[in-house]
Amino acid sequence: MPKKKSIPKILKDLTWQRWIGDDIAKTKCLCCGINEIKMNSFHCGHVISEADGGPTTVDNLRPVCATCNLSMRTQNMEVFKGQHGLGLTPNSFRIEDGHIRASTRLGSTDLSISVPISTVVQTVRSLF
């Protein structure tokens, strides 16, 4: 079996920028939510596996740790997360249009939340 082609650095950089942000140098794996990943040291995991026809695009890639990526092999990311009790780990947090948005998958159901940043700020201020 031929060796898989590496994901080009520019695509890895764009994937980090899209799903983490270019101002964040390290965070937790977007698959397991446990292992730390760094901007200059992470794997790109396919949400829909290449084996199932998933494209190698920013929309279908997530910054993940080497352990998750190598363990997933040809599985879709959500299937892998479900089998390993990781189904409730958010696979994306992003700030967009004045909102904090997050999404995850519970079984076959997609869950999303969108909260205005002003609401988050007011809530945090009320704690102090």
For every residue of 105-126, DSSP letters joined together read EETTEEEEEEEEHHHHHHHHHH
Closest by Cα among 88, 116, 117 to 103: 88
Sheet strand arrangement including 99-106: 92-96, 99-106, 109-116
* Backbone dihedral angles phi then psi of residue 111, each to the nearest 5 degrees: -115, 135
Distance of CA 59 to the CA centre of its chain: 10
Amino acid identity at 125: R
Taking the model in full, what pTM does it have? Answer: 0.66
pLDDT > 90 fraction of the chain, expressed in percent and rounded? 51
* pLDDT in the model for residue 92: 59
Chain segment 44-81, per-residue pLDDT in tens:
999 999 999 999 999 999 999 999 999 999 999 988 88
What share of the chain in percent tops pLDDT 70? Answer: 83
Report the sign of the C-alpha dihedral through residues 123, 23, 25, 55, in that order: positive
Domain segments of the chain as ranges: 9-126
pLDDT number for residue 36: 94
Whole-angstrom CA distances from 43 to 64, 77, 80 are: 5, 13, 16
Q: What is the mean pLDDT of the chain?
A: 85
Listed as ranges, residues in the chain with pLDDT below 50 are 88-90, 107
Distance separating alpha carbons of residues 50 and 47, to the nearest angstrom: 9
